[in-house]
Every structure is written in C-alpha cells, then in structure tokens.
Structure 1
Amino acid sequence: MKHFKLIVVMVIMSFAGFSQAAKEQTDTAAQKAILVTGASSGIGLRMTQLLSQNGFYVYAGVLHKDEMGALNALDNVTAVQFDVRKQDEIDAAAKFVQAQGRGLYGLINNAGVSIFGPMIELPVEQLEYQMDVNVYGPFRVTQAFAPLIMESKGRIATTGSIAGILSPAFMGAYSMSKHAIEAYTDAMAQEMARYDVSVHVIEPGNYGTNIGNAAKQRLLAQNYWNEKSRYNKERQGLLARLDQTEKGPDPIDVAEAALHLMQSDSPKSRYMVTATPAQADITLRRQISKMLELNAEQVHQFNREQLIKLLDEELAKTSGSKK
C-alpha cells in the first residue's frame, strides 16, 4: 500500500513538473521578443527599459562586454554583445537569439554615431566610419535577423533622425547617413510587405544622449577637424554645444514611439518625435520647401490650386488611417 501511495505521489509530482515546464514553454513562446541595438545608453536604453516593462522580452545589443551586466540585471532582458560593423559577430548573435527559442518579433536598429565637420575638409575615412555604423550596420543586422522576423510576421524599425530631413552645416556626414535610412525604410517596406512584415523609421529631434560626447571625443582624439580649418570659429561653437547634448530632455518620448510601433494594430510608417514645437516646425517646413523646390519651374509645374488638392488628398489618407 505504501509503495502504491509513493507511486501515486511520484506520478502527481511528475505531472506537475511537466505541467510547469509546459507552462513555462508556452509563456516563453507567447512573450514577443525584440532586439534593440545600441541599448547601453540614451535612446536604446530607454527603449529597452520601456519595452521590457510592457510585456516584451528584449535582447539588448551592446558594443562592449562590460556593458552587459547592467542590462542583464533588468527583468525580461538579455544582453547580447556584437559590433554592427562585424558580420561574424552579428551572425553569432543571430544564432544565439534563435537558440533561445523565443523567436524574434521585432528589431530596432538603434546603434549609431555622429561625425561632424565641413564637407570640403572631412577626411573620407571619417565619412566611411559614419556610414559603416549608421547605414551598413542596420543593413547587416537586418539581413541577419530577417528570417526570424519573417517567421513571426513581425516588425523592423530603424532610429533615423530629423536630420534625415534637415541637413545643417557641419552635420553633413550624419545627415547623409540619416537620409540614407529614409530611402532604406521606404524600399524595404515595399519588399517586406508580401511577407506581412512592416518596416518603420523613428525620427527623433534633440534629446539627452551620449552621442554628442562620443562625437566630441572622436573629433579631438583624431584631430580631423582642427584649429587650421577654414571653419575654426564654427568648430569652437560646435564643441561647446556638444558638451550640452547629454543634458537634453529625457528620450522617454522616443521610447514610447518604439512601444507604440511594436504594440499597435496599425503602427505608423514614420514616427517624428521632437522635444519642442520649434524642432517639429523647422522639420516640416523643410519638407514642404523641398516639395516647392522640386516643383518650381519644372516642365509639369503644379499651380497653387493643384498643390493644395494634392495636400488635401494626402491628408485624407492620413486621417483615414487608424491611430
């Protein structure tokens, strides 16, 4: 009789263990996973924090191994170390994520750098570095993780910038990289639609991040824009402004855009997020002025009435979409 009771208890315990394991497996499968690159600070860190606090499991991509500990300490976060410039490290990260068994619903290409300097003086290797991180980086990472995203019919986003619309003096290299992301997003959105994968760009204005400090350190360490420049006065002013970059507004607004993008049944293609109305105003005005520059004195020039009709038609498309 005792043996019979023992067997019953063991069966119950085994069943309970199996049920718990099955539940954990189900919970893991149900929790959507998102990879965020450049997650150690600034916008990427805020995205990682907000997404992981709102039901998502986040793979936090970092450049340096010593950045992993703080991220691994967060609930629903696993840090993954790789350099977006190195294909072998990206491929290893993709294999790691696949082996975790959660799949991958979302990818946010957020890692980025800023290079400043006059267009006629900037060394070509600095431009190459700018594009390698900000353009080729998302290109490499997206190709590596695309099969997982396609399998889950998920979402791909890249952190662009209002500099993808604007092109301020001495920010030409950075703006070139962010203009490229605009084209990259538009082309890939059309290509991925047949696989039920949506593609988006988040375009922040000026927020508090470490990108300015990193840009200043590189500029001074490599001395590629120095006192001998034709634009030395402007150089001094820029260096002073870069000191203030990390003191900007909390980029939580940008993280909330990422959360909406991943949660919404009808996410937007573009998320412009600015800390002030003035930043939004100058960006939208520049976009309008580009349209008018294109239209001016061209063979098929539209008149004012036709332009307003075009604007009304596009507004109707926007207002008709779900928020």
Structure 2
Amino acid sequence: MDRLKYLLIAFLALMVSHPALAQSPPEQRAVLVTGASSGIGLTITRYLADRGFHVYAGARKDEDLKRLEAMKNVSAVRLDVTKQSDVDAAVRFVAAQGRGLYGVINNAGVASVAELIKTSDEDVLWQHDINVMGPLRVNRAFFPLLKESQGRTAIIGSLSAFVMSPTGGAYGMSKAAVEVYTETLALELQMAGEKVVAGIIDPGAFKSRAREKVTMRMLTGNPELGQPLTDEQKKTLVTVQEAEAKMSDPTPVAEQVFHFLSSDTPRLRYMAANSEEVAHIIVREMLDRALQLNASQAAYTLNRDALVRTLDELLAKQAAGKK
C-alpha cells in the first residue's frame, strides 16, 4: 500500500490498544473530566465512576448536568472551558467538596472541516480556544489541588496530530499544539521537582457526537445539535449519523485514561487506535518522519546500523520502564 493510501485510510479513521489494566484506584479518588456530556467524555466518566473514582463531570447544558448528576459516583459541574469564570467556579466547587482532586482529564474539544486556504480565522480560533486554551486554563486553575494530591493531568488529543489530512488542517493544528503543550508541561513539572504527572491520550476514530456537531456547523454555522434544518440538510445529517452508528465504542480510550491514572509508571503518551491497521499507520508515519529528518542533513545522517542501534536503545529504555 502506498503512502497516499495510508494517509487516506488514516484520515477516514481519525476524524475526531488496550493496555493491561493496572491495580484499581484507591477508594473515591476524585477526577475532573471536561466535555463529559457525550461521546468519549461520557464513556470516560462512566468507566472511571464504575471503578471507584469520584468523577466531577464537566458540561454546559442544564439537561446534561441533570443527567450526569444522577449517575453513581458522579457530581456534575457546569464548565465551559472557554470561560475563565466557569473554570474558577469549578475550582471553588471541587475544593468545597472536601475530596481533593487527584486527576484532570481535559476532554472537551471541537472540530470543523474546511481547506486551510478557505478556513476562516473564526473557525481556526474557535478550535484553538477550546482544544488548546481550554486545557491550559483548566490545568492552570486546578494545579494547586493537583499539587496537593501529587496527582495527574491528561489531555485527550488525536491521532490527527500525526497524520495530516485534507480539510482537517485546523483541527490537526490544534491537536499538534496540545502534544507540544503536554510534553513541555511534563518537562517543566519535572525540572521544578513537582510530583504532578502530565500525559496525553491520542484516540483514533470512535463513536462520538463530534462529527454530528461538525456537520451542524457546516450546515448552519452553529455546532449545537437540535437546530431546525431543511429537508436537504436533514438528509446530510442523517447520513453522518448512520455512519457514526457503525463506529467502535470508545471504551479503549477510557481504558488508557484508567491506566494513566492508576499505573505506578504512567506514560507520557498513549495511543488508542480503533484498529490494528490504524495503529501501524501511525507508527509507520512517525518512523518515516524521523527518516526524512535524518536524510535531510547529509553531514550528520545516521546510517542504517546507527539507526538500528538507536532503536534498540530506545526499546531497552522502554522495557526498563523509563519515560
């Protein structure tokens, strides 16, 4: 299969690995999950709540908050990650509950589809504000609670950060940005001697209402579901919903989140691919990217033997449990 075909398959798969499970978390460790009303966020909320965590589930709408509040081991929190006032109020609410806070899972995210040459500033900034600035605001505000518990914070990224796709550039840009943010945050915490751990979980294509919202934004300019549509617009939305119904359940993403929160040796990066083929595409693309960089500097190029030695060294380091 040629590279273009790999990329096309990956694009279809990425428009939004099952680890061996670690030990169960201590009783009632508290975790905040943003964007918990549907899709991946709701699955993460249920998965963690079923395994002994108390989940503060962030959502924006009254009906979603009521539904989340009714779940066992869940407290609903009104939280729009673009509003600093909401973020600050959420900190006060969580602190007042007296459980502390062990983890933050930054899941809230949005996407739009358009060619980069035609994408509006508004669309680019809208995605950046939620996908990038959202985790920055939330982590910054909740850091004192995480520091007190020596806890963990993660972002739900996307494999779209690694495989580029036509019309998905603005979304991929935002997800690439949180890769840099997470790694930099981890380095800064380590250099400062902090015990807080940062990580990122990158999913492939799983069942989520995100694609419906992307479609609604394309049709109406507004991503909110439930808006009145013309008959033709309804047909377009139904086509997307039918395709969505055939996609995999996002439990593998929740399993990776659980590992990050529960393992004695959490990783910086996790991949939650929706198929073996997609997982292999991602690894192949990363290796290809490294080889392109290596070949571009003739004076410093590593030959095949040096590359193999480097790979062996990295595999040994990974096997030893080092980050």
The TM-score by the shorter chain falls in which range? 0.7 to 0.9
Q: State how far apart, in whole Å, the 1-side matches of 2:157 and 2:277 are.
A: 19
* CA RMSD in angstroms, aligned pairs only: 2.2
Structure 1 equivalent of residue 318 of structure 2: 318
User: Structure 1 residues 239-248 or 87-96, which shifts more?
Assistant: 239-248
Q: Which runs of 5+ in 1 are unaligned?
A: 1-28, 224-236
CA positional deviation for 1:31: 2.3
Q: State how far apart, in whole Å, the 2-side matches of 1:243 and 1:221 are.
A: 20
Structure 2 equivalent of residue 288 of structure 1: 287
Q: 1:210·1:246 contact (CA, 8 Å) conserved in 2?
A: no
Q: Secondary structure at the match of 1:285?
A: helix
Q: Secondary structure at the match of 1:35?
A: strand
Q: Secondary structure at the match of 2:199?
A: strand
Q: State how far apart, in whole Å, the 2-side matches of 1:294 and 1:311 are.
A: 16
Q: Which amino acid aligns with 2:42?
A: L
**Aligned pairs (5 A) from 1:198-209:** 198-209=197-208
Identity %: 44
Query: Could you list the runs of 4 or more consecutive aligned residues of structure 1 that deviate by over 6 angstroms after TM superposition?
Result: none
Q: State how far apart, in whole Å, the 1-side matches of 2:64 and 2:123 are.
A: 25
Q: 1:50 to 1:30 in 2, by over 3 A?
A: closer
Structure 2 equivalent of residue 37 of structure 1: 34
Q: Which amino acid aligns with 1:197?
A: V
Q: 2:102·2:146 contact (CA, 8 Å) conserved in 1?
A: yes
Q: Does 1:138 align with 2:129?
A: no
Structure showing the higher helix proportion among its residues: 1
Structure 1 equivalent of residue 218 of structure 2: 219
Q: State how far apart, in whole Å, the 1-side matches of 2:219 and 2:291 are.
A: 40
**Aligned pairs (5 A) from 1:78-227:** 78-193=75-190, 194-222=193-221
Q: Secondary structure at the match of 1:85?
A: coil
Q: 1:238 to 1:191 in 2, by over 3 A?
A: farther
Q: Which runs of 5+ in 2 are unaligned?
A: 1-25, 223-235
Q: 1:243 to 1:169 in 2, by over 3 A?
A: farther
Q: State how far apart, in whole Å, the 1-side matches of 2:59 and 2:221 are.
A: 24
Q: Which amino acid aligns with 1:272?
A: M
CA positional deviation for 1:262: 1.0
Q: Which amino acid aligns with 1:31?
A: Q
Q: State how far apart, in whole Å, the 2-side matches of 1:241 and 1:167 are.
A: 22
Structure 2 equivalent of residue 3 of structure 1: none
CA positional deviation for 1:276: 0.7
Q: Please say which structure displays the higher CA radius of gyration.
A: 1
Across the two proteins, how many residue pairs are aligned to each other?
284
Q: State how far apart, in whole Å, the 2-side matches of 1:290 and 1:239 are.
A: 38
Q: Which amino acid aligns with 1:284?
A: V
Which fold has the larger relative contact order, with Cα–Cα distance below 8 Å and residues 6 or more apart in sequence?
A: 2
